[in-house]
Each structure stands twice: as C-alpha cells, then as structure tokens.
Amino acid sequence: MKERVYIQDHNSMGAGKWIYDGYYRAWEHLGYETLYFNDWSELFEIDDLENCSLMMTDGFVAVGTPGSSINAPTNEEEYRKVKRVLKEAKSVYMYVSPNSFPKPWGDHPNFVSSCDFDIINYINTCENVHLWSFADMTEELKNKHYYDWKGIHTIPLAFDSVGYKPVEDKQYEFDVCFIGGRADNGFDEKYKIMIQNFSEFRNSGLKCGFFIGKKLTHKQETAILCNSKVAVNIHDAYQRVLGNDTNERTFKSLGLTGVLVSDEVTQASRLFPDVKMSNNPKELVKLVQEYVKMPTDELLEIKNTNKENVANNHTYINRVQKLISL
C-alpha cells in the first residue's frame, strides 16, 4: 500500500496554486499516493494518520473567520480535533509565516502569521511537525521576526520539472519574455516596478513577449519560456529590499528558458551566482541585449548549463526529498 500525502488545496490562492501543484506532482512522481484537502473535516475522518503525511500552511491552523477562503478551525471542539491530527500524523510539513514583519509590509495581514501563541506553542511541542519557509532562515531573521516558532528550515521555491516539459513553437520565439501577475499584496508595488522596467524595452530593438496578468494556457506559457532567448524577472518590493526569498519565476525561467536576467535579490544571487542582476531598468535592458547578440552556440551552452543545474538541484522533487530528510 502506497504511503499517502495530503496537501492543502490552494486552487484559488494565486501563486500558491502553482507552488503546491508542483509539490503535488513531485510527491506523486516519487511514488506517494497524493491527495488535496480543503477542510479539516476531511482530515478528521482519516483513521490511519500514522501512515499519512500532511502538507499545510500555518494559516490553515489559525482561528478561522467566517467567509475566509481558508477553512480553519472555528471553535474549541474543532481545535481539539486539530491538535489530535497534528499529533498523530506521521509527518506534518508546515509552511509558517513570521510573527512580525518589517514595515510598511508588516502592517498588512498577508505578511504575518495569524496563529495565536497557544496553537504555536502546541505545534512547537510536536516532534513530527516540521516547520519550513521559502526564506533564508538566518539566526538574525529567526530571532527578529520568527521568534515564537521553533526551528524553521529553509526550503526555497523550485521548478516543476514534472509539470513542464520542453515545447518547440516558432510562434513564440521572442528575444526576451516575461510571464507573471500583478500580485498586489496590499501595496501594489510590484506592478509599479514592472512598469518602470518594461517601459525601457520599448525602444530596445528587441522582440519582447511580456505577458502580465494574461490567462495563458499551460502550453502557451511553456512555449513562450522554452522558445525565448532570454527571460527577465521582476520581484516584489519587499523581496528586493529584504532579499530573503526568491519568486518561483526564477526557477521556472532557468528551467525552461535557460537564460535569466533578473532584478537584485540576495537569495537569488546566493542560489544562482552566475545570473546577471540589476535594479536599474536601463542596465537590465543592456544585459538582455548582450545575451541576444551572443553567437547561437555560446548562448545554447549557457542555456544547457543552467537547465542542468536546475534539473539536478532546484526542482520540487529536490524540495520534497529535503522535506522527507527532516
């Protein structure tokens, strides 16, 4: 009988959908029976929790609010059942948010954990509950912003190597491409950064395929990334300033396009020291142009090297293997 993994469904929650779809496929690829869950009632009914692993966010454990998109527990009786599930499951891999976050972002609920100290304290006593975050969990960051949680492991985002396979399509041969959403986390800073950067490409002489908030099919997205010479990447303002975590587009672009020019984020630079980065829009264009002007064989060599690195070290399969090792 296959070991089962239950993953919190993020179907309508922006980037979370793509991230946890990647995790779903990775667990499945590794031979696990993988299922999504939407509500605690589904977990309460499992009668062999000792054979099951759970993957969820701390928000799913926090006190629920009527009308919330997260079906968290709403009363003491449910909380007792929640604690039983957490205690009895073979393993629980819980993504946790910080207890506080630098301002101005920390004033918005998107950036901080909604768990109260009672449930955090209970989670901290469960040896089978493994806490993780996308962020580089330095001692300074842990003490300053994740102070109520026990030890947290750094598990960066990754490339969904199972869900995305190379596609050739001349229709989508761009010099440079970008695919992403507006991702308004309460401040709408990312959209302003995108406008500042992409406006510089207007007179660059480059064939640009920039798709912001477009409903592309999976095949279109894959074809654009696979057939473009260079992918460009933009992070949100807090990621640029704090540098602790990298968006998923970093990994997907390197996994499919193979050549990436990005804005500056410390974690991205640590993970991919050869990726050229700049927060100056004019410099970003110049870096893209340098790649586009390269001889085809030289550019292809860079692409293959980067794709191989991602395939070997930065897929969701790698991340699941890391989680299991905890």
Over residues 244-292, the pLDDT tens digits come to 999 999 999 999 999 999 999 999 999 999 999 999 999 999 999 999 9
pLDDT band at 188 (very low <50, low <70, confident <90, very high): confident
Helix (H) or strand (E) holding 110: none
Fold of 4-155: Rossmann fold (3.40.50)
Backbone φ and ψ for 165, nearest 5 degrees, come out as -120, 150
Alpha-carbon distance of 233 to 224, in angstroms, equals 14
- Between 13-17, 117-121, 172-176, 196-200, the lowest mean confidence (pLDDT) is in 13-17
Q: Domain 170-313 carries which CATH code?
A: 3.40.50.2000
Residue closest to 98 by CA, chosen among 115, 119, 73: 115
Instruction: Tell me if residue 69 falls in helix, strand or coil.
Output: coil
pLDDT band at 74 (very low <50, low <70, confident <90, very high): low
Q: Give me the pLDDT at residue 72, please.
A: 62
Domains 4-155 and 170-313 alike in fold: yes
The residue behind tokens 């605690």 is 40
What residues does each domain of the chain span?
4-155, 170-313
| 316 or 78, which is more confident | 316
Q: Give me the pLDDT at residue 71, please.
A: 62
pLDDT tens digit sequence for 79-92: 899 999 999 999 99
User: Number of helices (H) and strands (E), helices first, in the chain?
Assistant: 13, 11
Alpha-carbon distance of 188 to 84, in angstroms, equals 40
pLDDT tens digit sequence for 21-68: 999 999 999 999 999 999 899 999 999 999 999 999 998 888 554 334
Residue closest to 236 by CA, chosen among 261, 216, 262: 262
Q: What is the DSSP letter of 11?
A: T
